Chain A
């Protein structure tokens, strides 16, 4: 089990501040690094991977600094965004070479296992330059996993993958996360992050805008009304009763049920069953409708 820690990390290029005073701790499991293009995601990943020195602050893995410390690569795997691979090697030669450079006791067996993990066994003896984008990506993931690192950093890992490969990669990352690996992947595609991980680190304009489970982050945004979709045995009667409740800001009656805007998540969810019971109404459906990562993300960007 490894922990990646950023403490008051800033990085600037001349007068441009790319990353501004970020502190975060990555625990075992899968975490999504989210942010619009140009937010500083890649800079953060590069600092974690030891490819950039922080201008200020410290980046450590289990207490060891990542900058100028090649020893960390025993427990760290990186899949960079840039797709470059040694195209003149076959996938197997490439992964075996990576295993040898990791000084593994049985490089061939480790390469076989890693190639099986990413389902590249059937194409392993083809030169990488003949591969599609997705196959190259999987080969790079196999190379990053060959030494079974505790920490895996992936920069836009699903780029170029078809839906089936994407699903397989998500399952693989889930499995590794469940096994106790610390995995951080960056993405600007919200659906990917939503499917893969509840935990997010959101970076906006070089600053850490939010950190943690995105549903919990949403609930902490008390300045935004929470939107619920409610269906009941008598929607109109329920609407009348709800409008008298202090935590409810507004109710809309629609064809499929009610849309309720509540100022306080906890008070509303406690009050609703009480009100329904008092009015003799049967609740059929209650769904928070703006707890998707997309709405959390757009709220954070607007903030």
Chain B
């Protein structure tokens, strides 16, 4: 499992797409710093920066880049065959990939959110955002890892989930929030450090249970899909 994780991490940081992880966290921290430097009241910018940018964009987009990168790019270029032709339980391969994806996404999104939280309110708020973002990163990673195995266009489908399901439907159709990882993250952070900036629309038990459902369900489904991975489109 550690060798798979090692190859995955080397592959992730060896590709140019890793550079895509930098701009969004920098933008988040930069905006928070500017607002703080100009002494703007956090009540005016906190929600827009922390929720509108941090939780609705930075966390899911970073998780999407990383989550589809750890397996989807290997499926695309065919290098996955070198890992699959080993007597490794498919569970170990998926868990190694998930570990790397969740770890990198959690660090890349929790750190800037922690800093933005401190600048907007307090260390406690920053910690709450970091913990919730880490949990969200695991759930998003499980979902996007699964998408790499069920579709040839995981990035497109992931963007549809983030922008249409969570961003659009989540705002106007209340029922869709039960299947929105962003809402679980907001609720978890709000329960740890209640502020006026966060407005959880899903209860904590639902958030925790559904996050676990995303993580375990997505992982089990991905293990099953990898077990029957077919090399498609080469019929010569």
Chain A residues in the interface with B (C-beta under 8 A): 13, 16, 18, 37-43, 46, 49, 51-53, 67-68, 70-74, 76-78, 80-86, 88-89, 94, 97-98, 100-103, 143-144
B4 surroundings in chain A (CB, below 8 A): 101
A51 and B229 contact, CB distance less than 8 A: yes
Per the bound structure, the CA–CA distance linking A67 and B230 in Å amounts to 10
- Which of A13, A70, A83 meets B88, CB within 8 Å? A70
A85 to B85 alpha-carbon distance, docked (Å): 13
Q: Which residues of A contact B77 (CB under 8 A)?
A: 84
Interface size class of B (residues with CB under 8 A): 20 to 34
Shortest B229–chain A CB gap in Å is 7
Q: Which residues of A contact B86 (CB under 8 A)?
A: 70, 73, 98, 101-102
Chain A contacts for B85, CB-based, 8 A: 49, 73, 76-78, 144
Are B83 and A101 closer than 8 Å at their CB atoms?
Answer: yes
Task: Sample 6 A-B pairs with CB under 8 A, ordered by A number.
Answer: A13-B235, A46-B230, A51-B229, A73-B86, A76-B85, A88-B11
B128 to chain A, nearest CB (A): 37
> When the two chains form their complex, are residues B3 and A101 in contact, meaning their CB atoms are under 8 A apart?
yes
- Please list the residues of chain B having a beta carbon within 8 angstroms of any beta carbon in chain A: 3-4, 6-7, 10-11, 14, 77-79, 81-90, 227-231, 234-236
User: Which residues of chain B are within 8 angstroms of A80 by Cβ–Cβ distance?
Assistant: 78, 81, 231
Q: Chain B: which residue is nearest A149 at the CB level?
A: B85
Q: A40-B235, A86-B7 are in contact. Are A102 and B87 (CB under 8 A)?
A: yes
Q: Are A84 and B78 in contact (CB under 8 A)?
A: yes
Contact assessment for B90 and A52 in the assembled complex, using a CB-CB cutoff below 8 Å: no
Minimum C-beta distance from A82 to chain B (A): 4
B2 to chain A, nearest CB (A): 8
B228 touches A86 (CB 8 A): no
Please list the 5 inter-chain residue pairs (A to B) with the smallest Cβ-Cβ separation, ordered nearest first: A84-B78, A88-B14, A101-B86, A82-B78, A51-B231
The docked-state distance in angstroms from the alpha carbon of A77 to that of B85 is 7
Q: Complex Cα distance A53/B82, Å?
A: 19
Are A97 and B87 within 8 A (Cβ)? Answer: no
Given contacts A38-B235, A76-B85, 11 further A-B contacts (CB under 8 A): A37-B236, A43-B234, A43-B235, A53-B230, A78-B81, A82-B234, A88-B11, A97-B6, A98-B86, A101-B3, A101-B4
Q: A71-B87, A88-B14, A97-B7 are in contact. Are A46 and B234 (CB under 8 A)?
A: yes
Do A73 and B87 touch across chains, with their CB atoms under 8 A apart? yes
Quick check: A42 and B234 within 8 Å, CB to CB? yes
Most-contacted residue by chain A among B7, B84, B227 (CB, 10 A) = B7
A272 to B89, CA, bound (A): 63
Known: A53-B230, A103-B87. A85 touches B82 (CB 8 A): yes
With both chains docked as a complex, state the minimum distance between the C-beta of B8 and any C-beta of chain A, in angstroms.
10
Kindly report which residue of chain B lies nearest to residue A102, judged by CB atoms: B86
Name the residue on A nearest B10 (C-beta): A88
CA distance A39 to B236 in the complex (A): 6
Q: Which residues of B sit under 8 angstroms from A86, Cβ to Cβ?
A: 7, 10-11, 79, 82
Partner of B234, one of A72, A74, A81: A81
Q: Contact at A82–B81, with CB atoms within 8 Å? A: yes
Tell me whether B235 and A84 are in contact (CB under 8 A): no
A37's nearest neighbour on chain B, judged by CB, is: B236
B81 to chain A, nearest CB (A): 5
Residues of A within 8 A of B228 (CB): 53, 67-68
Give bound CA distance, A84 to B90, whole Å: 21
Give bound CA distance, A204 to B230, whole Å.
Answer: 23
Is A100 a contact partner of B236 (Cβ separation < 8 A)? no
Q: CB distance A84 to B81 under 8 Å?
A: yes
CA distance A163 to B230 in the complex (A): 34
